Structure 1
Amino acid sequence: MKTFCVLIPFFYVNVFAVKLAPTNYIEEIVITNIHIQQASNYNHIPGVENVLEHVIESIAYGHEYGIDQLYFMIALPDKVNLTNTQEHIAEHINRQRAMQAEITVKLSIPVPHVEIQNFEDLDLTQLGEDRRLLTGPALKNIIRRALSGYRPNATLSQLCHLIGLMMSTKVGKIFTTTHEIYPNILCILWDRADHYIKYRVFEGQLWQVADDYIDKKLEPLWAQLS
């Protein structure tokens, strides 16, 4: 029996690679969605207006997870390949359990119990949409705070990751995010299909610019947060 572990603060998340099926992963998405919904309804931390935003913000600004992990934890749990090996299914499950563990550690909300059901009958895409309906508004508010100076030490790399996550909740795509400081301050999102979304700083404000001409302003980032 092989055990796959992901180390996160205070938690080992273990998944045993024995007789795992896609339905095991779907079950974890259901549990995580319920857990995220509980976090969004929780308001018992003094000084914190929205605790779901608090959890996502701490994850996004932390160093425990790479951007690809964040996509599957926060925005795109449905964009995985479930026809792969059991090791890969175990990795997908671990990402969902990592999100559950973050909520449990930061909010002391236990992982919810879900009654046994026919998980194979559930629509994976719809479960992803349910996740994005919860996390999309939270990501927008986190970016608003960063733009307003609430996070003065936020790096361009962190902000670019947040923009990529936010855009993924809008269009349901995984973006590779990169940033450049010189000669222009840029945030570049790439969907791995030769489609780019670029942002550039003009007079201290981030604007989406034309892919082929970064001097051409298209829309300010703040306008995309409505």
Structure 2
Amino acid sequence: MKIYSFLISFIFVNVSSTTTEMDYMKDVAITNAHIELALKTNNFTIKDKVVLNGLEHVIKKIIESRQYTLEEMNNMLVVPEYLAFCHDLGALREFQKGVRDKIQLELNIPVPEVPDEIDFSKLVLEELGAKRRKFTGIALKNMLNRIIRKPENVTNLINERRHLGTDTFENKIIRALAGPEKKLSLSCMCHLIALFMSTKSPESHIKHIQINPDDTCTLKDDNFDRENKTYKTYGQIEGQWCQVIGNEVQRLKELL
């Protein structure tokens, strides 16, 4: 009887381990669909404040919550296929759930229902990750663009209306009415930059942000203790956000 119980237990553990990875991929796919809905939610108000985009709002709230490490946020928003930092698939599923919970809380968008005919066995985690970056990359780029570029003036836009197409004019007016991005802390700005750079180079596995005494930050990967390794540093030089690698300086807006 004991041997029988052991065999049943052994079989259960093995089945669980094979289905757990599938469950995780299913979670990533559902979260992708939820994120896409958030990205398509534009121009609404929260507490009388104009919000340009739902996904941008959710990303900002996740960063500002300080609930997650940079590595965890990378998994949630940019590189869900990178599993090396956490071998507990249950924990990884919780991170995906965390994104969906935030979308529901902030935007009141329900989690998409899963059609019965979807065959999740055909999912490829790397493809799901690429799709995630397609959505979050747009939001992160737009957020950084608004922060580092001069805000548009509503009066000037109205005076220039005759030179603008209707759609272009309306979009510019909405952006102007929303006002400039609220001034972010150095830490929050550096997290935005780190997440965006991860969308461009997901293989870099940025894990750490070092805040420097000169009000700059340095992004570091797995090998952050390795000697003689050159890392990318970000900060404002003469009022412009820049990337510094060694002695080379490049404006951040040129990298977006």
Partner residue, 2:66: 63
> What's the secondary structure of 1:185's corresponding residue?
coil
Counterpart AA for 2:71: D
The corresponding residue for 1:187 is 217
**Counterparts in 2 of 1:134-153, with a 5 A limit?**
134-148=135-149, 150-153=180-183
CA distance in 2, matches of 1:43, 1:153: 21
Partner of 2:234: 199
Equivalent in the alignment of 1:92: 92
| Separation in structure 1 between the aligned mates of residue 41 and residue 184 of structure 2, nearest angstrom | 26
The answer on 1:175 being equivalent to 2:206 is: yes
1:220 alignment partner AA: R
How far apart in 2 are the matches of 1:195 and 1:120? Answer: 41
Take 1:65 and 1:82, find their aligned partners in 2: how far apart are those partners?
14
Aligned partners of 1:131 and 1:34: how far apart in 2?
A: 9
Give 1:101 deviation, angstroms: 0.6
Q: Is the 8 A contact 1:52 1:138 kept in 2?
A: yes
Per the alignment, residue 131 of structure 2 pairs with 130
Match of 2:186 in 1: 156
Q: Distance in 1 between matches of 2:84 and 2:211?
A: 31
Preserved contact between residue 132 and residue 169 of structure 1 (Cα < 8 Å): yes
Instruction: Pick from 180, 192, 195 the counterpart of residue 165 of structure 1.
Output: 195
- Measured in 2, the distance between the counterparts of 1:120 and 1:81 equals 22
Q: After alignment, is 135-144 or 22-31 more displaced?
A: 135-144
The count of corresponding residues between Structure 1 and Structure 2 is 200
Query: Which has a greater percent of strand?
Result: 1
**Structure 1 residues 21 and 145 mapped into 2: Cα distance closer, same or farther (>3 Å)?**
same
Task: Check whether the contact 1:82–1:89 (CA below 8 A) recurs between aligned residues.
Answer: no
* SS of 2:51 mapped into structure 1: coil
What is the deviation of 1:148?
4.4
What amino acid maps onto 1:96 in structure 2? Q
Report deviation, 1:219: 1.2
How far is the alpha carbon of 1:181 from its aligned partner? 4.0
Do the aligned residues in 2 keep the contact of 1:160 with 1:177 (CA within 8 Å)?
A: no
Unaligned runs of 5+ in 1: 1-17
Q: Is the 8 A contact 1:29 1:96 kept in 2?
A: yes
TM-score where L is the length of structure 2: 0.70
The structure with the largest helix share of the pair is 2
Write the deviation string for residues 118-142 of structure 1: whole angstroms up to 9, x where unpaired.
3232111110000000001111122
Preserved CA contact (<8 Å) 2:207 2:222? yes
Partner of 1:223: 254
Q: How many angstroms does 1:104 deviate by?
A: 0.7
Aligned-residue offset at 1:145: 2.9
State the 1:81 CA deviation. 4.1
In structure 2, the CA distance between the partners of 1:102 and 1:204, relative to structure 1 (3 Å rule), is: same
The answer to whether structure 1 residue 114 and structure 2 residue 144 are counterparts is no
Identity among equivalent positions (%) equals 32
For the aligned residue pairs, the C-alpha RMSD in angstroms reads 2.4
- In structure 2, stretches of 5+ residues that fail to align are 1-14, 151-179, 224-228
* Bigger mean CA deviation after superposition, 53-62 or 145-154: 145-154
